[in-house]
């Protein structure tokens, strides 16, 4: 077997057998097809296998559309789920020789070995071997046959491709192409400790190159473990995408940082935006909510690292009667639940987990949250509505419907959907994230006085 790449080396320096990595990767693909998130699935993977399985799973899920189309040509009927997952995993990893993590013959041999050593696939190991050997013999012809299938070409469900074509006729290809690339690692410099340029120089001294993005961001040319970041454990820097860094300064722009503003972070976990708000407005009283108690613990951990304090409560933001004390808020951040279609490059399983109806159902949840939280805002106060989605049903359409129903609401500022690589319209230049940021939607609403 070919020596494993560095990302699958264990702490002892020994490489786990590739067939074990392929078994676990195939299990991740099967779990995704059955509706389980990759993040949750990886937590069940043995620690020594996890780095390699994560890397292979990301690649397999980014190429699953092509792999599924190839499998349909190789097999007259769909094999059992575990067999299909292993076969598609092997095809996803080896169909494009230029991107294959191992030599093709090694992947094929080890995929067959993985089948032989697993109860659910053992009886079908000969079938898997026959399919993969045929694929190697007829590679060019089979790949050409799948080139015209949109799901195969773009490695996203057909409905997803069609929706982007409708919502973003000028940028749909760019969005789909970027989704196939690993996301950059972007830092948010805590300017209570360092100027952005000063922290950038610390990275340069370590041999780490970074480009300034937005107000406080540094986008690294190569990701590195957080424990290697200077001052990370002391809150000097956080990992946060450039588009997500827009939220806190946009909500609070031109507001006096010395005042004790009452701020609600309505869907706060894991706490990145909560921490950013308090870095910029340390005198503010922030109530951070999340419906999941375990996710509230993540907020606590993030704030503890930053040496910041907020009131954190496990509660449903859409049910204020259960948690609101009756005192209105000066500002509300509503990072609403969404399809996460804007962060698919960080979570390649999302494209296969979502269904065509999800966006419409989530839009109802978003509308319900806006309706519930709007009365909690003081006259003249602001509510920043955002989602990490590029689907318009979860952005422009939701906000326009809300404005039509609420005559006391003004659209103070709406840069709309932030498309990676495109300068957003109407966003003050100091907030412009630039670079290869995630897809986001922002609308800043203001409540009329009187």
**Annotated catalytic sites, by residue?**
388
Neighbours of 435 (CB within 10 A): 18
End-to-end CA distance of the chain: 74
Compute CA 257 distance to the chain's CA centroid, rounded to the nearest angstrom.
30
The SS3 call for residue 84 is helix
DSSP states along 191-251 = TTT--HHHHHHHHHHTT--EEEETTTEEEESS---GGGSTTGGGTSEEE--TTGGGHHHHH
Contact between 409 and 400 (Cβ < 8 Å): no
Tokens of 420: 């990676």
Whether residue 211 contacts residue 221, with contact meaning beta carbons closer than 8 Å, is answered with yes
Reading the block at residue 71, the tokens are 């499998």
Which residues pair with residue 238 across a beta bridge? 188
Strand runs labelled E in 80-197: 186-189
């Amino acid at each position: 077997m070919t020596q494993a790449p560095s990302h699958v080396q264990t702490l002892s320096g020994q490489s786990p057998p590739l067939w074990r990595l392929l078994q676990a990767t195939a299990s991740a693909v099967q779990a995704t097809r059955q509706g389980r998130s990759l993040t949750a699935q990886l937590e069940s993977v043995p620690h020594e296998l996890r780095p390699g399985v994560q890397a292979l799973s990301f690649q397999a899920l980014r190429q699953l559309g092509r792999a599924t189309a190839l499998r349909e040509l190789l097999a007259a009927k769909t094999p059992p789920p575990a067999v299909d997952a292993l076969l598609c995993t092997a095809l996803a990893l080896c169909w494009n020789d230029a991107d294959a993590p191992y030599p093709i013959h090694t992947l094929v041999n080890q995929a067959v070995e993985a089948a032989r050593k697993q109860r659910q696939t053992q009886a079908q190991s000969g079938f898997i071997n026959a399919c993969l050997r045929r694929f190697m013999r007829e590679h060019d012809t089979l790949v050409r046959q799948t080139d015209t299938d949109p799901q195969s070409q773009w490695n996203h469900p057909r409905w997803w491709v069609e929706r982007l074509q409708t919502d973003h006729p000028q940028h749909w290809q760019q969005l789909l192409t970027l989704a196939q690339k690993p996301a950059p690692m972007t830092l948010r410099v805590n300017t209570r400790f360092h100027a952005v340029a000063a922290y950038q120089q610390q990275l340069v001294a370590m041999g780490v190159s970074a480009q300034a993005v937005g107000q406080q961001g540094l986008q690294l040319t190569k990701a590195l473990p957080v424990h290697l970041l200077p001052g990370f454990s002391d809150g000097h820097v956080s990992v946060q995408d450039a588009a997500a860094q827009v939220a806190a300064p946009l909500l609070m722009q031109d507001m006096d940082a010395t005042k004790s503003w009452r701020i609600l972070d309505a869907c706060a976990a894991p706490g990145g935006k909560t921490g950013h708000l308090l870095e910029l407005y340390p005198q503010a009283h922030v109530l951070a909510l999340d419906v999941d108690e375990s996710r509230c613990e993540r907020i606590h951990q993030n704030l503890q690292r930053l040496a910041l304090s907020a009131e954190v409560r496990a509660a449903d933001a859409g049910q204020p009667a259960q948690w609101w004390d009756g005192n209105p808020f000066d500002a509300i951040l509503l990072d609403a639940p969404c399809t996460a279609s804007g962060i698919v490059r960080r979570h390649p399983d999302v494209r296969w987990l979502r269904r065509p109806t999800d966006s419409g159902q989530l839009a109802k949840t978003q509308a319900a949250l806006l309706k519930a939280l709007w009365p909690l805002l003081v006259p003249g106060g602001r509510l920043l509505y955002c989602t990490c989605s590029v689907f318009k049903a979860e952005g422009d359409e939701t906000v326009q419907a809300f404005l039509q129903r609420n005559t006391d609401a003004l659209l103070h500022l709406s840069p709309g959907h932030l498309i990676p690589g495109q300068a957003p319209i109407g966003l003050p230049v100091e907030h412009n994230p630039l670079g290869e940021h995630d897809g986001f939607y922002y609308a800043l609403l203001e409540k009329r006085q009187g």
